[in-house]
C-alpha cells in the first residue's frame, strides 16, 4: 500500500492493546464483542482512519450503523481524526440510506425506473386506506394502521405476507391487501421503507451482476451496534462480505433492545458459524463511567439468564454513589430532576445533562418543570408533549366544546376518527357559512336544515353536531378529567387507537392517559376547561432551534450509543421499567433489563435513579411498586434521598381524580368560612376568601400560599381543613 495520509503511530497511541489489535486487524472477519463504553465505536472510527492512513481508498470502506444520529456521530469522529486530510469520504451510513443508494443504481433490475419515489409511513397509510375502501373491507375492524403493521410484521417473519392467507380472517385480509399494495407501488414506481432493506437483499441474492459489483466495491465493511441487526440486514452484510471477507462487526449482547423490531441477538453468535475463521476480540476496560456506575450496571444485568458473562473494569475514579430519589408523585419527580439540574448546572453546561424515560408520555411533567425554571431542553426523537397529534386532537375537541365556532378545531376533528365526512362536505359547509356570514356553530345548523348537502353527508354531519351538543352538556356536569375520559369514549377516539394495536397506537394511548392526568389539576377549578385549553396552547417550546446549550430528554431506546456526564433515569417502577407490556414473558423482562443497563451505562460521572410512590393513571392516583431492577443494586452503592418521613415539605397526599369523586359523594358538604385555613392536594395550603353562589354552583374563593387566587367549585373541590 502507498504511504498514508495520517501518522499511524499517533492514531494507535490513543488505544489500549486490545483496541489496537482490533484496529490493525484489517483483513479477514473480525468480531468485537464487548461491554458498554469499552471503545467499540472508537475502534470503528480509528479503524476507518487507520485504513486510510495505510493508503486504502475511502470509497471501498463501508461502515453501517443503526440511527442517523449514530451515523452523524461516527462521521464527526472520523472527520476529527483525519483533520485536514479529509478528502473523499468513506461510506458511513444507516442500513436504510445504504439500501437507498443501492436501489438508485440498480432498481431497474427489478423493474423500477431509477427515479422511483420512497413512500414514508404516512404515504403508506394513504395507500392502504384506499385499498381497504376499494376492497370494501370493514375498516373499523381492519384499521389501515393495523393492517399496515401486520404486513410489516409478516414480511419480517416470513418474507411474504401473501402466505398469510391461511391464517384466519386477519391473515386473509392482510394477504389480499398486500397483493394490491405491491401492485400499487409498482404501478406508481414507488418503494417503501422496508423495501430499502428487502429489495437490495433480493438483488444481492438473485442478481449476479449486482452482487458482484457490491462485493468488489466494498473491500472493508464494518457494522456498529451489531446486536440490533435483524435477519435481512444480517444477510445483506454476509453476502456483501463473501468475496473479501473483511467484515468487522461490533456489538454487545447485553445491549440488544430491538427484538420487538425483529432484531435477533443470535446473529452475533451466527457470525462465528458463518465466518469460522473469524478473529474474536474482547474489550474489557470501560473508559466512560465511574467504578460505582459500572458496578451498579453489572449488578443489574448479571441477573439475566440468557447472557454470556462478561465483566468490565475501569481505571476511572470510584465516583459518587448513585442517588436513588423516592418521589411522592410524578410532579415531585419532575421537580426534583429540574432542581438538581439547576443546582448542578452552576458548575457545568446544560449539555452535560440527560434525562431518560421508558415511554414518550413521561416527558410531559419533566418538560413543564424545566420550562417553569427557564431551563432550555430538547426532546430527542420525539415531539414535545403538546405538539403530539393525539394531544392536539383532543385539545381541538375541547376547543370545539368550549366554542362551537372554532373553525380550525372543527376542521381538525370532524373526521377524526373517521366518520366518512370528506373534505368536500367540509368545504361546502364552510363556504356556506362564509357566504351567509354565519359563525360556524349557527352556520352548521342552518346548513343541515337548508338541504345544501347530499343526504348521506348530511346524516353524518348531523350525528357529529349532535355528538358535540351532548359533549357540551356533559362538560358542564363532570370534572374535567372525567369529561376527557368520557370524550375519548363517546367520540370513538380511544377505540380507534385500541384497535390499531401498534406500538405507536400504544404510545398515543399513553399520551392521552397523561393528558387526563394534567386535567385532574383543573377538576375543581371554575372555568377549568378554559384554563386547561390556555395552558395547552401556551405550552410552546422555549427554543425550537435545537442548537445551543440544553438539557437532553429522550427515551431509553434512543439513548443507545451515546454518553453524558450526568444522567437521570426516571420512572423506575414496575409497569414503567420494566414496561407493563413485558411483564408476562421472561424474554420481555430480560429485554427490559438490558434496556435499564443501556440507560445506566450512558452515565459518565453522576447517575440519578428516580422512582415515585404514586402516579396519576387515567386521572386516578395509583401506587406503583419500585422496579425490580432496583432490588439488584447493592445498598452500599446507593444514596437514598426523599421518601422518608418528614422529608418533603409538601401537602399530604389525598385521593385525587375519580377516587376523589367517590369520596365526595359520601361525605357531608363542608362549610367554608372566610379566613379558614385549607389544604388542596395540588395547590397546597391556602386561606378562604369567601364563597359565592349556592347549591350546585356554590363556589369558594381561596388564596393559595404558592399559586395565588383560585375560584373552586365546591361540588368538586378537594379541599380539606388544614391540620
Ligand atoms: P457503547 O456500548 O455504549 O456503544 P462503546 O463501546 O461504543 O460504547 P465508545 O463510545 O467507543 O464505547 O467509547 C466510550 C468512551 O470512552 C468514549 O468517550 C471514548 O472516547 C472513550 N475511550 C474509549 N477507548 C479509549 C481509550 N483507549 N483511551 C481514552 N478514551 C477512550
Ligand atoms: Mg458505541
DSSP type of residue 560 = T
Give a three-class secondary structure readout of 221-244. Answer: EEECCHHHCEHHHHHHHHHHCCCC
Is residue 407 within 8 Å of residue 413, measured between CB atoms? no
pLDDT top residue among 707 and 601: 601
Percent of residues, the chain, with pLDDT higher than 70: 90
Task: Using the predicted structure, report yes or no on whether residue 6 has a pLDDT greater than 60.
Answer: yes
Q: How far is the CA of 320 from the CAs of 244, 333, 562, 603, 637, in angstroms?
A: 48, 21, 21, 12, 9
Task: Using the predicted structure, report yes or no on whether residue 428 has a pLDDT greater than 80.
Answer: yes
Is residue 103 within 8 Å of residue 94, measured between CB atoms? no
CA distance 337 to 369: 8
Cell numbers placing 205: 441474492
pLDDT digits (tens, 9 = 90+) for 184-204: 888 888 888 899 999 999 999
- In angstroms, what is the span from residue 346 Cα to ligand 1's centroid? 27
Which helix (H) or strand (E) segment holds residue 85: the answer is none
pLDDT top residue among 363 and 306: 363
Best probe residue, ligand 1, of 41, 222, 225, 314 (max atoms within 8 Å of C-beta): 41
**Catalytic (active site) residue 255:** yes
Backbone angles phi, psi at 69, to 5 degrees: -65, -40
Q: Kindly report whether the peptide bond that precedes residue 152 is cis, defined as omega within 30 degrees of 0.
A: no
pLDDT digits (tens, 9 = 90+) for 31-77: 998 999 999 999 999 999 999 888 888 899 999 988 777 787 788 88
Kindly report which listed range (315-329, 407-421, 670-684) carries the lowest average pLDDT score: 670-684
Q: Calculate helix-pair angle for 423-436, 440-450, nearest 10 degrees.
A: 110
Could you tell me whether strands 699-704 and 684-692 are parallel, antiparallel, or unpaired per DSSP bridges? antiparallel
CA distance 492 to 467: 11
The length of the chain is 723
Task: Using the predicted structure, report yes or no on whether residue 290 has a pLDDT greater than 50.
Answer: yes
CA distance 248 to 23: 10
Confidence of residue 659 (pLDDT cuts 50, 70, 90): very low
Cell numbers placing 718: 378537594
Look at residue 166 in the predicted model and tell me its pLDDT. Answer: 60
How many other CB atoms are there within 10 angstroms of residue 108's CB atom? 11
**Catalytic (active site) residue 225:** yes
How many other CB atoms are there within 10 angstroms of residue 455's CB atom? 8
- In angstroms, what is the span from residue 604 Cα to ligand 1's centroid? 11
Cell numbers placing 424: 368536500
Look at residue 664 in the predicted model and tell me its pLDDT. Answer: 34
Ligand 1 closest atom vs CA 562: 3
Give a three-class secondary structure readout of 413-432. Answer: HCCCCCCCCCHHHHHHHHHH
CA distance 302 to 297: 9
Task: Using the predicted structure, report yes or no on whether residue 340 has a pLDDT greater than 90.
Answer: yes
Which helix (H) or strand (E) segment holds residue 250: the answer is strand 247-251
Confidence of residue 658 (pLDDT cuts 50, 70, 90): very low
pLDDT digits (tens, 9 = 90+) for 119-173: 777 678 878 988 998 898 887 788 888 898 888 888 887 666 666 666 678 888 8
CA distance 341 to 355: 10
- In angstroms, what is the span from residue 246 Cα to ligand 2's centroid? 20
Q: What mean pLDDT do residues 275-298 have?
A: 95
Beta strands in 351-451 (DSSP E): 353-357, 377-379
Amino acid at each position: 500500500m502507498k504511504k498514508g495520509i495520517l501518522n499511524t503511530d499517533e492514531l494507535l497511541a490513543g488505544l489500549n492493546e486490545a483496541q489496537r489489535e482490533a484496529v490493525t486487524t484489517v483483513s479477514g472477519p473480525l468480531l468485537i464483542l464487548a461491554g458498554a463504553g469499552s471503545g467499540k465505536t472508537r475502534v470503528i472510527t480509528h479503524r476507518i482512519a487507520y485504513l486510510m492512513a495505510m493508503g486504502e481508498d475511502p470509497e471501498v470502506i463501508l461502515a453501517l450503523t443503526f440511527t442517523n444520529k449514530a451515523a452523524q456521530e461516527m462521521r464527526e469522529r472520523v472527520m476529527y481524526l483525519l483533520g485536514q486530510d479529509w478528502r473523499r469520504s468513506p461510506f458511513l451510513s444507516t442500513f436504510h440510506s445504504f439500501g437507498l443508494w443501492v436501489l438508485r443504481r440498480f432498481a431497474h433490475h427489478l423493474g423500477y425506473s431509477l427515479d422511483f419515489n420512497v413512500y414514508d409511513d404516512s404515504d403508506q397509510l394513504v395507500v392502504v386506506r384506499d385499498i381497504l375502501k376499494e376492497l370494501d373491507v370493514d375498516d373499523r375492524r381492519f384499521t389501515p394502521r393495523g393492517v399496515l403493521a401486520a404486513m410489516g410484521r409478516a414480511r419480517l417473519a416470513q418474507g411474504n405476507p401473501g402466505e398469510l392467507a391461511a391464517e384466519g380472517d386477519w391473515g386473509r385480509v392482510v394477504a389480499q391487501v398486500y397483493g394490491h399494495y405491491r401492485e400499487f407501488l409498482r404501478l406508481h414506481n414507488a418503494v417503501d421503507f422496508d423495501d430499502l432493506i428487502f429489495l437490495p437483499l433480493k438483488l444481492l441474492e438473485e442478481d449476479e451482476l449486482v452482487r458482484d459489483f457490491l462485493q468488489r466495491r466494498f473491500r472493508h465493511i464494518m457494522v456498529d451496534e451489531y446486536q440490533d441487526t435483524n435477519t435481512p440486514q444480517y444477510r445483506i452484510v454476509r453476502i456483501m462480505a463473501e468475496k473479501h471477507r473483511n467484515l468487522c462487526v461490533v456489538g454487545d449482547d447485553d445491549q440488544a433492545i430491538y427484538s420487538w423490531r425483529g432484531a435477533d441477538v443470535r446473529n452475533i453468535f451466527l457470525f462465528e458459524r458463518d465466518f469460522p475463521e473469524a478473529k474474536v476480540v474482547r474489550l474489557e476496560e470501560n473508559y466512560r463511567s465511574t467504578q460505582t456506575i459500572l458496578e451498579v450496571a453489572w449488578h443489574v444485568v448479571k441477573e439475566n439468564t440468557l447472557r454470556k458473562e462478561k465483566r468490565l473494569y475501569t481505571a476511572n475514579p470510584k465516583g459518587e454513589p448513585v442517588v436513588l430519589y423516592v418521589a411522592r408523585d410524578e410532579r415531585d419527580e419532575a421537580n426534583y430532576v429540574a432542581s438538581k439540574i439547576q443546582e448542578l448546572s452552576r458548575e457545568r453546561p446544560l449539555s452535560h445533562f440527560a434525562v431518560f424515560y421508558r415511554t414518550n408520555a413521561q416527558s410531559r411533567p419533566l418538560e413543564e418543570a424545566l420550562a417553569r425554571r427557564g431551563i432550555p431542553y430538547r426532546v430527542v426523537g420525539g415531539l414535545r408533549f403538546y405538539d403530539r397529534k393525539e394531544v392536539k386532537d383532543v385539545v381541538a375537541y375541547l376547543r370545539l366544546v368550549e366554542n362551537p365556532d372554532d373553525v380550525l378545531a372543527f376542521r381538525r376533528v370532524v373526521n377524526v376518527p373517521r366518520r366518512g365526512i370528506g373534505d368536500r362536505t367540509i368545504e361546502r359547509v364552510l363556504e356556506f357559512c362564509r357566504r351567509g356570514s354565519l359563525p360556524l356553530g349557527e352556520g352548521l345548523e342552518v346548513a343541515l336544515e337548508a338541504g345544501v348537502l347530499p343526504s348521506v353527508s348530511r346524516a353524518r354531519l348531523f350525528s357529529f353536531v349532535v355528538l358535540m351538543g351532548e359533549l357540551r352538556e356533559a362538560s358542564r356536569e363532570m370534572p374535567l378529567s372525567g369529561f376527557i375520559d368520557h370524550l375519548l369514549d363517546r367520540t370513538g377516539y380511544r377505540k380507534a387507537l385500541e384497535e390499531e394495536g401498534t406500538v405507536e397506537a400504544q404510545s398515543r394511548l399513553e399520551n392521552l392517559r397523561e393528558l387526563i392526568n394534567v386535567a385532574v389539576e383543573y377538576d375543581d377549578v371554575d372555568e377549568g376547561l378554559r384554563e386547561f385549553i390556555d395552558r395547552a396552547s401556551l405550552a410552546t417550546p422555549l427554543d425550537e432551534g435545537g442548537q445551543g446549550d440544553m438539557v437532553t430528554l429522550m427515551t431509553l431506546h434512543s439513548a443507545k450509543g451515546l454518553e453524558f456526564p450526568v444522567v437521570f433515569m426516571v420512572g423506575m417502577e414496575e409497569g414503567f421499567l420494566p414496561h407493563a407490556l413485558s411483564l408476562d414473558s421472561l424474554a420481555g423482562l430480560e429485554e427490559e433489563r438490558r434496556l435499564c443497563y443501556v440507560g445506566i451505562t450512558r452515565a459518565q460521572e453522576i447517575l440519578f435513579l428516580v422512582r415515585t410512590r404514586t402516579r396519576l393513571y387515567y386521572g386516578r392516583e395509583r401506587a406503583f411498586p419500585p422496579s425490580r431492577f432496583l432490588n439488584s443494586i447493592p445498598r452500599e452503592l446507593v444514596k437514598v434521598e426523599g421518601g422518608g418521613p418528614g422529608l418533603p415539605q409538601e401537602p399530604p397526599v389525598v385521593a385525587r381524580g375519580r377516587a376523589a369523586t367517590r369520596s365526595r359523594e359520601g361525605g357531608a358538604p363542608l362549610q367554608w368560612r372566610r379566613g379558614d385555613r385549607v389544604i388542596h392536594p395540588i395547590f397546597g395550603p391556602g386561606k378562604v376568601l369567601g364563597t359565592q353562589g349556592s347549591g350546585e354552583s356554590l363556589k369558594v374563593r381561596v388564596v393559595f400560599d404558592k399559586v395565588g387566587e383560585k375560584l373552586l367549585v365546591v361540588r368538586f373541590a378537594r379541599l380539606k381543613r388544614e391540620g
